[in-house]
């Protein structure tokens, strides 16, 4: 068993792995969502529909999309292409742990902005590939590409995120076990996850 395999078995919240449905980054992002009261939401990269169901419980009319159908209400959409929705279709766009998989995240984010209503919110989570823990692992030859999933195409740091989302509020968490606190400073160094909230 490799060092990486051993690390993946530890109950340490580094943003994904076996904790992906309950990671602190995901919980922080979900806490930013206001009551829907019948408003429209897009769950981009819905997977098994876990967050789509949570959005419905919060009162949203949800459109769930993904590249393959693993959820009964999922519509097959390739996020690398123009979205099949009219301008200003959604009050909320939720996209968790997806943009790192895309060919051109800039294109997709601009598509999200196109279909987002005025005063709407875009909430995104993505790995911080260069936080302190991952930089330490780099000393042992464990680069972000080796540590993360094989289908990750992008490895973001704080500079990348600020460039893509210049007007967004960005959050993270620290430490990685026991009492994990939401933070808004030193995120690039400390948090394994970026939680991005951009208002139109």
Report H helices in the chain: 3-9, 24-31, 50-57, 105-115, 132-138, 144-147, 158-164, 187-190
pLDDT in tens, the chain (200 residues): 555 565 556 567 776 555 566 789 999 999 999 999 999 999 999 999 999 999 999 999 999 999 999 999 999 999 999 999 999 999 999 999 999 999 999 999 999 999 999 999 999 999 999 999 887 777 777 666 666 667 788 889 999 999 999 999 999 999 988 889 999 999 999 999 999 999 99
For position 13, what pLDDT does the model report? Answer: 75
For position 137, what pLDDT does the model report? Answer: 76
For position 133, what pLDDT does the model report? Answer: 84
List, in order, residues 6 or more apart from 117 with CB less than 8 Å away.
40, 88, 89, 90, 91, 200
For position 2, what pLDDT does the model report? Answer: 59
- 3-199 is classed in which CATH architecture? 3-Layer(aba) Sandwich (3.40)
Q: pLDDT (tens digit, 9 = 90+) per residue, 48-63?
A: 999 999 999 999 999 9
For position 85, what pLDDT does the model report? Answer: 98
For position 163, what pLDDT does the model report? Answer: 96
d(CA 72, CA 30): 22
For position 95, what pLDDT does the model report? Answer: 98
């Amino acid at each position: 068993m490799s060092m990486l395999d051993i690390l993946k078995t530890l109950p340490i919240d580094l943003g994904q792995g076996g904790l992906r449905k309950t990671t602190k980054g995901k919980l922080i992002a979900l806490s930013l969502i206001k009551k829907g009261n019948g408003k429209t939401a897009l769950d981009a990269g819905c997977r098994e529909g876990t967050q789509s169901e949570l959005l419905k419980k919060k009162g949203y009319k949800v459109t769930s999309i993904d590249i393959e159908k693993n959820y009964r209400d999922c519509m097959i959409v390739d996020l690398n292409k123009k979205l099949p929705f009219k301008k200003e279709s959604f009050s909320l766009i939720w996209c968790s742990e997806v943009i790192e998989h895309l060919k051109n995240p800039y294109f997709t984010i601009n598509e999200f902005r196109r279909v987002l209503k005025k005063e709407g919110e875009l909430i995104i989570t993505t790995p911080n590939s260069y936080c302190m823990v991952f930089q330490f692992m780099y000393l042992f030859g464990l680069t972000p590409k080796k540590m993360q999933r094989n289908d990750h195409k992008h490895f973001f740091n704080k500079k990348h995120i600020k460039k893509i989302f210049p007007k967004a509020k960005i959050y993270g968490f620290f430490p990685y076990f026991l009492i994990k606190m939401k933070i808004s400073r030193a995120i690039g160094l400390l948090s394994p996850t970026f939680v991005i909230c951009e208002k139109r």
